[in-house]
Structure 1
């Protein structure tokens, strides 16, 4: 392993850990109803940080009369932006190292960063069309550079993740400008989880996880991949539940809903993705029947995931992957307990935040299992790129 490859592996590990922290803090911000505590983006009431002095607060209230300043919430939103920006810098460094051997990929990554900064600048000055064009270029360049790299999947993804992070920043902007539109909030959650998942996979593979050559064990990758898809879909359902304020739509009843096995529901309204521009979704706009429908589907999804991952854990344990099987099973049980506790105790903030973290850890346990089932990396040099036999 070359010095640059060691640096890449170390950075990927640090970035994955940092991304998990950003996901957790983002959940804390959303669940504490602080998602619109800064009505502008990327500034907060026109400031780089947030108003702190009396005259700054007075100016903020005068500038945004429809969104009075709340000192207990604004700092949460802006600190989350700082953390996300720091993660973006780390991902940029990872992408540069991963593509450094190729001149055009190196310049593609740097140009993507420049276009992203230009897009933010145009947006802040009200030039929305140029901002959108620059942002599309900033997202597309890392995707093109990474996917065309003749190297192991981990190194390609190390570049691709930069495009994901830039798109995630756009989702963060739209979360504010579109007033917590549920499909955007759900997408923002998925973007954060995707960033964490990609960085985790890169970190695991670069750190040397893998090496199963057994045909029987490698055949289990397909079953693990199905588990990853199911968990991702359930996370999306969880994001939809949260963004529509449907977590307590069934009251504190479990497994029944509002004391019934079949309460009034409106699945059509509950799963309408778009309701027009200009609607403020803070607090939710759906009636109880629509929210109950969302909550019931989320519970059904949880049951499907529980059954499948329980079967998968048993299958993996019987084939010698006992540690991975136990990890998946334990995190699965913890996640179910947190979900039930959310309902029973009325969605306490620490439990709700931990439930988001549990979802990320459950996905990580499956990604770690998938990485362990991959063929070993061959650290041979091919234009300074990793090759996989």
Structure 2
């Protein structure tokens, strides 16, 4: 099943078609908007703006709360605006994928529909986080679904992207997949720490230290798996250029993320831009690992039967 999906997504006739170029462009734009949305969500959380708009879906009963507008209200209002635009764009994506389904890989309309289901569920969680006054389990589930939606878009976009491999990845697909799962779990642990303000509570009253420590301990398996991926990628001399570039990005992002994590810890989350960057960089690492996994999977399955690159 996976092999057929990857091969059909890369067939030269479908990749060259106009509908698939439109959909690929839209998928990547929604993915970028989702990354921005998660960054705004992190800013909303660290700035204590999660309840700046006391009602939902409007804000103070208005589409644009001009009279009540301040930094906190703006963050929460803009977070909802970006989420609404992503939802509308995803609806357009689903309509296009089903309208042109005869010219697209058979899995694509279903994949886009699944993404729409996630964004609907995400909207429900977003409403509940407000009406239930930022309950930590709902806030964490909200983050988990956002990351899963973001990852789904990356999977779709990567499968639709042109790629010429060398069939030399070995076990890199499995290693990158494991690293992706561990980074996802680590992102959720970070969200759990943030939603319960565990760092502040641990330092201030020795409470919820086990939540904070779980995130600290989680750094090690996630980091080691990424380092193993980088190590074996460097030891693969015939690795494709795209995978080699992705390996470099993973190394840079990982190094930056560790520095940001150490800084936010020792500064006790007092510098909001560092905390926001730490949350966002985790999502970027997660997305980059997904892209590596998809391309490596293509390399091991598709490349032996791909037509040669045109000059």
TM-score for the superposition, normalised by structure 1: 0.67
Q: Could you tell me how far apart the structure 2 residues matched to 1:333 and 1:218 are?
A: 25
Q: Could you tell me how far apart the structure 1 residues matched to 2:35 and 2:288 are?
A: 13
Maintained 8 Å contact 2:230/2:247: yes
1:13-66 deviations in whole A, cap 9, x for unaligned? 2111111111111111111110011111001121122250xxxx6xxxxxxxxx
Q: 2:115 aligns with which of 157, 161, 165?
A: 161
Q: 1:375 aligns with which of 294, 298, 306?
A: 298
Q: 1:234 aligns with which of 172, 186, 190?
A: 186
State the 1:323 CA deviation. Answer: 2.2
Residue of structure 2 equivalent to 1:22? 37
SS of equivalent residue, structure 1 residue 374: helix
TM-score for the superposition, normalised by structure 2: 0.83
Q: 1:36 aligns with which of 46, 51, 55?
A: 51
Residue of structure 2 equivalent to 1:7? 22
State the 1:102 CA deviation. Answer: 5.7
Point out the more displaced range, 165-174 or 368-377.
368-377
Residue of structure 2 equivalent to 1:312? 229
Q: Could you tell me how far apart the structure 1 residues matched to 2:30 and 2:39 are?
A: 14
Q: 2:159 aligns with which of 181, 205, 220?
A: 205
Maintained 8 Å contact 1:39/1:45: yes
Aligned residue pair count? 279
1:212-256 deviations in whole A, cap 9, x for unaligned? 462x526421221111110111011011000000133454xxxxx
Maintained 8 Å contact 2:128/2:138: yes
Structure with bigger RCO (C-alpha 8 Å, 6+ apart):
2
Q: Could you tell me how far apart the structure 2 residues matched to 1:172 and 1:239 are?
A: 15
1:324-363 deviations in whole A, cap 9, x for unaligned? 2222121111101001100122211100000011101111
Residue of structure 2 equivalent to 1:364? 287
Q: Could you tell me how far apart the structure 1 residues matched to 2:106 and 2:166 are?
A: 19
Structure showing the higher helix proportion among its residues = 2
Q: 1:296 aligns with which of 191, 210, 213?
A: 213
After the TM superposition, which parts of structure 1 deviate over 3 Å for at least 4 consecutive aligned residues? 210-213, 248-251, 287-290
Q: 1:98 to 1:302 in 2, by over 3 A?
A: same
1:45-99 deviations in whole A, cap 9, x for unaligned? 21122250xxxx6xxxxxxxxxxxx833122211110110001111111111112
Unmatched 5+ stretches in structure 1: 58-69, 104-148, 252-286, 379-389
Q: Could you tell me how far apart the structure 2 residues matched to 1:306 and 1:356 are?
A: 16
Aligned Cα RMSD in Å? 2.3
